[in-house]
Amino acid sequence: MCKTFISLVMLSLVCLLGALEFTLDGEARTRAVMYYSDASDQAGSHIDSKLWLGTNLSVNPDLNLRLNLQFGDVVWGSTTGGQAGGGISAGIPVTAYELYVDYRIQAIRSNVRVGQQYWADHRSLMLDDSFSGVTFSSDDVLGLQTTLGWIKQVEGDRHLAGDDVNSFLLSARGKVWGLQAFYTMNEADSAGASTDIITALPYLVWDLKPLNIDLTGILQHSISPTANDLDYGAAARISAELKPVELGLDALWYANEDPQINYALSQYYMNKLYIFGVGQHFDGWVGWDQVNWYWGQTDAPDMYLGTVGFANVALAKNLGLFAAGGLVLKTGWEANAGLELDLGNFQLAAYGAYGQHQGAARPSYLIGSTLKASFY
């Protein structure tokens, strides 16, 4: 009887799975780097690997489930800490970054998404991460692609009221302009007071081939019982594609009405630097440990001002050269370059960066290579 029941259960599962549609996507990445950071006065080297594996389950054309897992980051040979798994006897850490249900409402050309999901603003200035919440997206609201969302940032003591952090998201995108805004209710900040934060990121994008212009404004107003604080700034990226060469300029200015700057920028804003920024091939993290460099830091007391010039050169059909040089006001400078082999689902890059922090006795450097294999 027991064997018959188990057989029926297994048969039911096979029939159920056969009626569902699965698709997989992901990326495997391995990199080897050596570096010196003058901030910590330490040199280091390591090889690390991680795998993102996304599973999409279609129950019917309108109902879909998404699970995205990260295996690693594993530092080869490590048996301790967040990067454990590289040692012989260590298990690989697994993290779920996406876990949501998405329902398509055909009648109003909209989607409702509930659960742990990923979202990023236009330039990853304020948000580029996964979060738990609900989003409602419409294909067309007055000619705009629109998203409304509720983000549960912090769940405090579930038995007490008034110690949570909630954000509400608005994103509207047209052909050449858009607006992304957040309203955050921090019901109990570190000082024990309630704080409301209003953030607005209007942007313009012009594709005037061969010229591309991307301008984003930054405005953030914090309101608390004791003080009001205003942050403001702008990000600009201008590039010209003159085949086989692309030349460009990236600039970020961020300031505060008070003498002391208060940063609220995302760590994943990419300005093509590696020591004074986050680069495409090295994000500054080793497992769960951050290399102590200078993204988002400035020695200027009242503002952040960074400018970066960059170039991309197509050397052959699948081989390219990239280079960038940047200066952060009163903080330091950096130059980097590398080669990238792109075979579609397979990429291999070798790169190096060299930079000098103001007042440091020795320069910082990074030398590395990254291998990526992706499938979609």
Q: Which two tokens stand for residue 199?
A: 């953030």
**Top-level CATH class of 22-375?**
mainly beta
* Amino acid at position 290, single letter: Q
Query: What number is the average pLDDT over the span 139-165?
Result: 84
> If you ran DSSP here, which 8-state letter would residue 267 be given?
T
Task: Provide the pLDDT for residue 13.
Answer: 54
Measured at the CA of 136, the angle between CA 131 and CA 139, to 5 degrees, comes to 125
pLDDT in tens, 248-264: 999 999 887 765 555 56
List Cα–Cα distances, 255 to 238, 267, 303, in angstroms: 21, 17, 4
CA distance 201 to 128: 14
Whether residue 8 is predicted with pLDDT greater than 60 in this model: the reply is no
Please give the distance of CA 276 from its chain centroid, rounded to a whole number.
16
> If you ran DSSP here, which 8-state letter would residue 283 be given?
-
CA distance 173 to 119: 14
What pTM, to 2 d.p., does this model score? 0.87
Confidence band for 10, pLDDT divided at 50, 70 and 90? low
List Cα–Cα distances, 366 to 32, 229, 276, 280, in angstroms: 11, 37, 12, 13
Q: Which of 244, 156, 162 is nearest to 195 (CA)?
A: 162
Tokens 């608005």 correspond to 170
Query: What number is the average pLDDT over the span 187-202?
Result: 78
CA distance 134 to 149: 6
> If you ran DSSP here, which 8-state letter would residue 108 be given?
G
Among the residue ranges 100-114, 167-181, 189-203, 335-349, the one predicted with the least confidence is 189-203
Q: Is 18 exposed, middle or buried (0-12, 13-18, 19+ CB in 10 A)?
A: exposed
Q: Exposure string (b/e) for 217-248, b if CB count within 10 Å is 16 or more?
A: bbebebeeeeeebebbbebbbebeeeeeebeb
332, 269 contact by CB (below 8 A) = no
204, 211 contact by CB (below 8 A) = no
Query: What number is the average pLDDT over the span 142-163?
Result: 82
pLDDT in tens, 58-108: 989 999 999 999 998 888 887 766 566 666 666 788 899 999 999 999 999
Strand 285-286, strand 289-290: pairing: antiparallel
66, 98 contact by CB (below 8 A) = yes
Q: Is 134 exposed, middle or buried (0-12, 13-18, 19+ CB in 10 A)?
A: middle
CA distance 343 to 340: 10
Q: Which two tokens stand for residue 286?
A: 């080793």
For residue 15, the number of C-alpha atoms closer than 13 Å in the C-beta half-sphere is: 6
277, 267 contact by CB (below 8 A) = no
Residue 158 φ then ψ, to 5°: -65, -15
272, 355 contact by CB (below 8 A) = no
- SS3 of residue 171 by DSSP: strand
Task: Provide the pLDDT for residue 41.
Answer: 73
Among the residue ranges 69-78, 105-114, 130-139, the one predicted with the least confidence is 69-78
For residue 21, the number of C-alpha atoms closer than 13 Å in the C-beta half-sphere is: 7
What DSSP line would sit under 121-168, residue for residue?
Answer: -TTSSS-EEEEEEEEEEEEEETTEEEEEEEEEEE---TTSSS--EEEE
* Amino acid at position 110, single letter: S
